[in-house]
Amino acid sequence: MSAPLLTSLAEPGGDRPDALTVGGRACSREELLGAAGAVAARIAGAPVVAVRASPTAETVTAVVGALLAGVPVVPVPPDSGPAERDHILRDSKAALLLTGSLTGSPTEEEAGPVETVPVDLAERAAWSGPEPDPESTAFVLYTSGTTGAPKGALISRGAVAADLDALAGAWAWTAEDTLVHGLPLFHVHGLVLGVLGALRVGSRLVHTGRPTPAAYAAAGGSLYFGVPTVWHRVVQDPDAARALSGARLLVSGSAPLPAPVFRDLEQLTGHRPVERYGMTETLITISTRADGERRPGYVGTPLSGIRTRVAAEEGAEIGELQLTGPTLFDGYLNRPEATAGSYTEDGWFRTGDIAAVEPDGFHRIVGRASTDLIKSGGYRIGAGEVENALLDHPAVREAAVVGAPHEDLGQQIVAYVVADGVSEAELIDYVAGQLSVHKRPRKVRFLEALPRNAMGKPQKKLLPPA
């Protein structure tokens, strides 16, 4: 029989009444197991179930129940519109939609082409089914759909276990920790790492509902997860930031952490944050270590079992990051051509991200090949490097850099910034003084705010025309 995916739920004794707190509601692991057992009993045998993944204890219970029963889980963003929601439900062929609603009929937001089943935390049932095969699908996670309709990535139980064990080793994550975060429960970061990680390692979990500086400061954790937007807001609240000084580790991911935020976190909390890199299709593959060096702008070295390489043109320092290892997905649901196209001829996964690797193995992610690799005047320039230079200017709060068509240069560097009291010429000169002159923006556009997704990533395709 294979080892349980959710290790701590199978261990007797040592439980505490607030082992998991989600959105202010606390429960023990025994209570979670009983409520999840009731879910497992109701859905056993279903081919696939969807879960309306709001930041609630019901969402955690639904996901755990499905994993106990060996039924693949499709997390559905609670704010998804009807078109996106119906696409996910129909494409995945979900048989049921599990929700936190106890009303007699589904709300308009929850309604869809499948039967809606409410999750009741008061229900209890003992689940004695066998541990599912590690090669079976744990999740169908839908990508952001930036190049068309969202695609469902098939993530196996074995991939989840391998990733969480590698991260536990890299971050010295143990049952003695209290993990705190307020990230969405429909992404790898918030759900797989932020919930299943705690249930596998056995650490206490505090999900704050929303990732506000005040909520993080009040939680008293030893391990904190956040995205750059969260950490930017934390450093804007110095008192909240200083309250995290007693933590053991601050982890940032889902997008590059701007160097100024890295430095502010270190100054206010005493911690140099850990950065890591991953994708829906690969889970987390690269990270800095709890006991290792942490450099601004770098995501560290490959996790245990992961191999990486950079496919760069001759003479170029940057190129597409490719990797292989046990955390990779099993392909896109019903899309064999897309699956085949995501791998090289010799079987390495093509991330579509542009990276550079230092001689000591430290990886730096420059950005997406489709939007962040700029070819200007014969030079290959990473947008992330220019963005960090702009963010070092004291007047700049946000920055996004793209390459726009140019009849002479091929592409010209265009910067979109949120800033006060600084001119276009001043910012162009500032970047030219920080980096090579050819990396300076040719145009600067000032915005009230950058368009971002739920994880705080800038959405460059939504920027106004250059």
Q: Which two tokens stand for residue 223?
A: 């391990």
Give the pLDDT score at 318: 85
Give the pLDDT score at 145: 52
- CATH code given to domain 1-368: 3.40.50.12780
Q: Tabulate helix, strand, coil % of the chain (nearest 5).
A: 30, 25, 45
Length in residues, the chain: 466
Domain limits, the chain: 1-368, 373-462
Domains 1-368 and 373-462 share a fold: no
CA distance 249 to 173: 9
Q: Which residues are bridge partners to 76 per DSSP?
A: 52
Helical pair 228-235 and 259-269, crossing angle rounded to 10 deg = 50
Pick the CATH number of 373-462 from 3.30.360.10, 3.30.300.30, 3.40.50.10490, 3.90.550.10: 3.30.300.30
pTM for this entry: 0.84
Give the pLDDT score at 382: 77
Give the pLDDT score at 65: 97
Q: Which residues of the chain have pLDDT under 70?
A: 1-2, 13-14, 101-112, 144-148, 315, 378, 454-455
Give the pLDDT score at 101: 55
Residue 312 and residue 369 in contact, taking contact as beta carbons nearer than 8 Å = no
pLDDT tens digit sequence for 411-426: 899 999 999 999 999 9
Give the pLDDT score at 105: 42
Which ranges in 172-296 belong to alpha helices (H)? 197-201, 213-219, 228-235, 238-242, 259-269
Give the pLDDT score at 373: 75
CA distance 334 to 207: 34
Report which of 345, 303, 310 is spatially closest to residue 325, judged by C-alpha positions: 303
Give the pLDDT score at 80: 79
